[in-house]
Amino acid sequence: MEMIRLENLSVALGQFHLRNINLAVEKGEYVCIIGPTGAGKTVLIETIAGFHKPYKGRIILDGDDITSKPPEKRGISIVYQDYMLFPHMTVYENIAYGAKKKIRDKRILEEEIERIAHIMGISHLLNRKPETLSGGEQQRVAIARAIISKPKLLLMDEPFSALDTRTTEKLRDFVKRVATEYDLTIIHVTHDIVDVWSLADKVAIMNNGTIIQYGEVEEVFSKPADDFVAEFIDINILEGEITEVLGEMVLVKVGDTILRVKTNTTTGHRIRIFIRPEDIYISNTPPDYGPGCFRAVVEKILENGPYVQLFLSRNNIVLKAVLTRGYVRCLGLARGKHVYVYIRPENVRVAET
Ligand SMILES: Nc1ncnc2c1ncn2[C@@H]1O[C@H](COP(=O)(O)OP(=O)(O)O)[C@@H](O)[C@H]1O
Ligand SMILES: [Mg+2]
């Protein structure tokens, strides 16, 4: 069942335009919107919430056209980066505020608050004031306040941006739990690709006021619609020519390197292929897998916390790979070192032409 649908939604704010936004979200689905700063992500969710008036298009929520409804009548809740709790109220009162129009019976309200406080791990904080809580705790309260009214749609605008990595990881777990328990429909704006991998069913990539690509996470992240998306999701793009068909497999010549690719495209075609950095295997000894295995040189190593980004080159091809720090150490990788690269045929995606 469809919960929300945006149809050709267009908004003008000063110089900025949100153009022809189309997006459909099923009930219970978790959608992340990701894009660079200034893409229009906040304007888009503020428009869904009712704070900006579109000059074109419609917003359909649970079958109703809510395009001109005032924000408080939409049945939509929103969580911001900076918590926005009421400082003079306790945690309990803050959460109760979110339910004030929906739950009138005091006993039921109490039960509901206890239930959600339990799920969000804030039961022990109910009598405290927001200023005595950590950022992560405050955001858990803000989420509890936003969903106690059982909104048809929960919007979150960079909810983890003010939090450190450890706290963010913990919060993702709470959000995942509450999304399941309450069967929430969520649109979550983020600039962190980890949110998309770990939380979302679908992802929309935004740039310059438009949605460039929308679909299942796995699909978008393995088949970017254009170079902007490819760059943004950090995938390798190569161009090559099919030289041989071997049943379900073809051999693709990229420069002087032969890759095996699973596809039903036929010989002679120039094709574009995508390979995710985490799908590139590296070893010091030849794995003897035939085509799809080749030698390359480590051009650059970028340390990035527990993961390391490697730039591998072979003649005119440069490939980005991601390895754990431990694995890089174990292989003794360093700039200039020769390694063997292996890419499984099923991990090479062919762009539709
Ligand atoms: N109220 C406003 N009036 C005019 N321009 C605005 C307003 N709000 C946002 N903008 C502009 O719209 C663009 C998109 O902003 P925003 O949605 O906040 O981007 P994002 O959240 O993707 O970083 C920016 O260029 C911003 O300056
Ligand atoms: Mg924003």
pLDDT at 352 over 70: no
13 pLDDT band, cuts 50/70/90, is: very high
How confident is the prediction for the chain on average, in pLDDT? Answer: 93
**Closest to 91 (Cα-Cα) out of 171, 49, 148:** 148
**Closest to 186 (Cα-Cα) out of 208, 216, 154, 210:** 154
**Closest to 71 (Cα-Cα) out of 140, 1, 155:** 155
- Which protein residue has the closest C-alpha to ligand 1 atom 3? 13
- Quote the pLDDT of residue 234: 86
- Quote the pLDDT of residue 47: 98
Q: Average of pLDDT values for 214-241?
A: 90
Contact 349, 223 (CB under 8 A): yes
- Which protein residue has the closest C-alpha to ligand 1 atom 18? 42
Number of domains making up the chain: 2
Provide the residue range defining the domain that includes 307. Answer: 236-350
Same domain, residue pair 124 and 261: no
Same domain, residue pair 200 and 249: no
Same domain, residue pair 8 and 153: yes
- Domain C-terminal end among 201, 232, 263: 232
CA of 116 to the centre of ligand 1 (A): 33
pLDDT in tens, 294-345: 999 999 999 888 899 999 999 888 999 999 999 999 999 999 999 999 999 9
pLDDT at 353 over 60: no
Alpha-carbon torsion 38, 39, 40, 42, what sign? negative
- Quote the pLDDT of residue 33: 98
**Does the pTM of the predicted model rise above 0.85?**
yes
Phi, psi (degrees; rounded to nearest 5) at 141: -65, -45
pLDDT in tens, 24-82: 999 999 999 999 999 999 999 999 999 999 999 999 999 999 999 999 999 999 999 99
- The set of protein residues with a Cβ atom below 6 angstroms from ligand 1 is 13-14, 16, 35, 37-43
Same domain, residue pair 26 and 135: yes
- Quote the pLDDT of residue 305: 84
Quote the CA–CA distance of 317 and 216 in Å, as a whole number: 29
CA of 30 to the centre of ligand 2 (A): 18
Query: What Rg value do the Cα atoms of the chain yield, rounded?
Result: 24
Same domain, residue pair 168 and 184: yes
Quote the CA–CA distance of 322 and 301 in Å, as a whole number: 10
Candidate from 15, 43, 44, 210 with most ligand 1 atoms within 8 A of CB, to mutate: 43
Bridge partners of 269, per DSSP, are: none
pLDDT at 267 over 70: no
pLDDT in tens, 145-181: 999 999 999 999 999 999 999 999 999 999 999 999 9
- Domain C-terminal end among 232, 251, 271: 232
Same domain, residue pair 199 and 293: no
Of all residues in the chain, what percent carry a pLDDT higher than 70?
A: 98
Same domain, residue pair 135 and 205: yes
Quote the CA–CA distance of 237 and 230 in Å, as a whole number: 7
CA of 138 to the centre of ligand 1 (A): 26
Candidate from 9, 10, 11, 13 with most ligand 1 atoms within 8 A of CB, to mutate: 13
* DSSP-derived secondary structure for 183-251: T--EEEEES-HHHHHHH-SEEEEEETTEEEEEEEHHHHHHS-SSHHHHHHTT-EEEEEEEEEEETTEEE
Quote the CA–CA distance of 328 and 306 in Å, as a whole number: 11
- Considering only 55-64, 196-205, 255-264, which range has the smallest mean pLDDT? 255-264
Same domain, residue pair 228 and 240: no
- Quote the pLDDT of residue 154: 98
